[in-house]
A and B are shown apart, each in its own frame.
Chain A
Amino acid sequence: MKRIISILLENESGALSRVVGLFAQRGYNIDTLTVAPTDDDTLSRLTLTTQGDDQMAEQIVKQLHKLIDTIKVVDLTQGVHIERELMLVKLKASEADIRAEVKSCVEIFRGTIVDVTPKTYTVQLAGDSEKLDAFIEAVREIGIMEVVRSGVSGISRGDKFLRV
């Protein structure tokens, strides 16, 4: 099962490498990873996705918590949550009919075209990972030149929040 794990981390040098190292050392995979400072710049918020059953997810959360730089850890998949990922896709689009097809696809997926050349369109899309996957499938035939995904960010729904 896919897990979205969110971590509040001291924004200190070496903190990220400890998180990443832990996964390598304990034989867990990281599927996606995003990290950035929060509104409080002494803190980083890190979101990663991995695969694992309940027992494994529990171990991962406990192991992450054990890192000295870690302030809080939650497995967002344990509750209702919002998941978002940003994607930029550069597509081959030199012929008029293809350009029209891309446009309609982008519209259906509620994306935006953020850059245009005579030969390419660059599309921006946000949503959960499945939606981004679906878009890639939809435009695969057209000709993908480049895909950049931000990795998953997540937040829990409702009144719950992760803060110091």
Chain B
Amino acid sequence: MELLSGGDILIRALKDAGVKDVWGYPGGAALHIYDALYRQDDVFHILVRHEQAAVHAADGFSRATGEVGTALVTSGPGATNAITGIATAFMDSIPMVVISGQVPLSKIGQDAFQETDMVGVSRPIVKHSFLVTRAEDIAETIAKAYYIAATGRPGPVVVDIPKDVTDPSHKVPYHWPTEVKMRSYQPTDKGHRGQIKRAVKTLINAKRPVIYTGGGIVIDNASEQLIALAKKLNYPVTNTLMGLGGYPGTDRQYVGMLGMHGTYEANTAMHHSDVIFAVGARFDDRVTNDLDKFCPNATIIHIDVDPTSVSKNIEAHIPIVGTCTSVLTEMLAIAEQMDIEPDAEAIGEWWKQIDEWRADKGIYTASRYEPSSGTCIKPQDVIKMLYKITDGRAIVTSDVGQHQMFAAQYYLFDKPRTWINSGGLGTMGFGLPAAMGCKRAFPDTDVACVTGEGSIQMCIQELSTCTQHNLPVKIINLNNAALGMVRQWQDMNYSSRYSESVYEDSLPDFVKLAEAYGHVGMKITHLDELEEKMRECFAMKDRTVFMDICVDRSEHVYPMQMPGGSMRDLWLNKTERT
């Protein structure tokens, strides 16, 4: 058998795990690994400019492809810089492996230079973690790490490797396990048959049903099954922020996003529903609003692969633990066999009601905001323009704030894995590195990062990575010269006292900044330039372009749920409420 050093074993194992790209940043404890990387051509390394970005990029890659993303960092500060990225992936159940160098085994616990207890620090934000103590264990640990990350409810796995374990002078046999078996980890796939039958019956007998789906549909690639079932039943579908694209945004049965900034029609339909069919969603507080007032008449069917998500916030009447794909497939088959059909009259009435809500206060039927004019460009119109120019087919990543919500509301995602955002943790700084990961995965697809001048500055250094690795992403900066979402809350709850949310006098010249990194910068201040410039931007296929678009500073995101209310208690604009 071939003898390899720990560093070589690690890289070989990554290759055998199917890894093509590693996003990372070197440092002392990882140098044996970096040397092993240098001496081979199978695994490609992309050098970022901050470890947080390495993890977000691996995350973006994973969200866009469904594969496990990989990041590599050194010990101590490298490891702690990765933490925000790991927490982001954890909250959104993104499969990922983060490999961190560690001080040599003999130094662990000595407060050695660049020592951080990575397994300890990351414990609450990982699906699992390993500290590898022998070169012989590397391959098996890597196999387990990728298996755990990808199966069940996916999530990030940390593999911490002390420097001496990758020592080039210590060689051991390489063995890649063909199969991973763990007695302590056997994720559930299929749901309980009896429960599934009950669910189908309840669903078909519903008079005012809503299908409420989340990130689970996207993560589990269950879109096709969801569409088939929804079409068969002719029921309305709403997606969470994480679920956008899981059901086509342009479909007639789609009633828009639900929750805090969800549409009037989706939130109102939820509130009045008699059956809620929740699939791969977790009744997050940004969806439900006040739990005591949540959908008072609804029977709840809840499918989730993670038993802890079921009946955690809202008691499920029919809980089913299983993957979205397998349960939906089974439900479809059962529905085909059953001799009951949905009550066409009741469903017809329900649609009539929903269509009235739509026509009355819907977000897409009549404009819910003042139109743009001259130098007052509405952020919503920028997103609509982006949709038009990319033909609705771009991969859109976002940062966190108002721009994120506008993107979620006004870019109608027809396909899963095209809307890439940090929903659970809400990490500013996510957008650009995530876009790099997406671009790397799909070099021929337009990748747009919708961001704000606040968020983009949290990972702006990655413009340099875009230069080095030729990642021509398009940055759509909705520049409102403020931490807009913070300012909105201050407008609504703090009598417009803008405590530390404005910085208009100190913003950089983003055009010059982009140019300094070797990219194209554009500043748009007038509505008349928007379309032409954006076309120009997307026509430059091989250039990273930074579009700095000055948008209306006073705009708020609406609808917005009222704190302490039910789902349908909404602000519709600055003065009108339900």
A contact residues vs B (CB 8 Å cutoff): 9-10, 13-14, 17-18, 21, 25, 55, 58-59, 62-63, 65-66, 68-71, 164
Contacts and interface: CB of A to CB of B under 8 A. Distances in A.
Interface of A (DSSP majority class): helix
A14 B124 contact: no
Contacts, number: 34
Given A55-B311, A65-B307, A66-B307, A71 B120 contact: no
Q: Counting chain B CB atoms within 10 Å of each CB, which of A14, A55, A68 scores highest?
A: A68
B169 interface: no
Given A55-B311, A59-B312, A70 B306 contact: no
A68 B124 contact: no
Interface in B320-354: none
A58 B309 CA distance: 12
A66 B124 contact: no
Nearest to A14: B119
Interface in B178-225: 182-185
B140 to A, nearest CB: 13
B273 interface: no
A62 B124 contact: no
Q: Counting chain B CB atoms within 10 Å of each CB, which of A17, A66, A69 scores highest?
A: A66
A55 B312 CA distance: 9
A65 B307 CA distance: 9
Nearest to B306: A66
12 contacts: A13-B131, A17-B120, A21-B123, A21-B124, A25-B124, A59-B312, A62-B307, A63-B308, A66-B306, A68-B127, A68-B185, A71-B184
B314 to A, nearest CB: 12
A68 B123 CA distance: 12
Nearest to A42: B183
Given A14-B131, A59-B312, 18 more contacts: A9-B184, A10-B184, A14-B129, A17-B120, A18-B123, A21-B124, A25-B124, A62-B307, A63-B308, A65-B307, A66-B307, A68-B127, A68-B148, A68-B182, A68-B184, A70-B184, A71-B183, A164-B183
Contacts of B128: 68
Contacts of A14: 119, 129, 131
Interface in B105-153: 119-120, 123-124, 127-129, 131, 148
A71 B182 CA distance: 10
Contacts of A70: 184
B204 to A, nearest CB: 29
A25 B120 CA distance: 13
A106 B123 CA distance: 45
A71 B308 CA distance: 16
Q: Counting chain A CB atoms within 10 Å of each CB, which of B182, B184, B307 scores highest?
A: B184
Nearest to B129: A14
Interface residues of B, number: 18
Given A65-B307, A66-B308, A68-B148, A17 B123 contact: yes
Contacts of A18: 123
A10 B131 CA distance: 15
Contacts of A9: 184
B300 to A, nearest CB: 15
Contacts of B311: 55, 58
Interface of B: 119-120, 123-124, 127-129, 131, 148, 182-185, 306-308, 311-312
A69 B127 CA distance: 11
Contacts of B183: 71, 164
Contacts of B184: 9-10, 68-71
A55 to B, nearest CB: 7
A59 B123 CA distance: 19
Nearest to B308: A62
Contacts of B182: 68
A13 B117 CA distance: 13
Contacts of A65: 307
Contacts of A21: 123-124
B531 to A, nearest CB: 49
A55 B131 CA distance: 34
Contacts of A10: 184
Contacts of B131: 13-14
A25 to B, nearest CB: 5
Contacts of A17: 120, 123
Contacts of B185: 68
Contacts of A69: 184
A9 B123 CA distance: 17
Nearest to A20: B123
Contacts of B127: 68
A38 to B, nearest CB: 14
A58 B119 CA distance: 27
Nearest to B312: A59
A71 B184 CA distance: 4
Contacts of B124: 21, 25
Given A13-B131, A69-B184, A59 B308 contact: yes
Contacts of A66: 306-308
Contacts of B308: 59, 62-63, 66
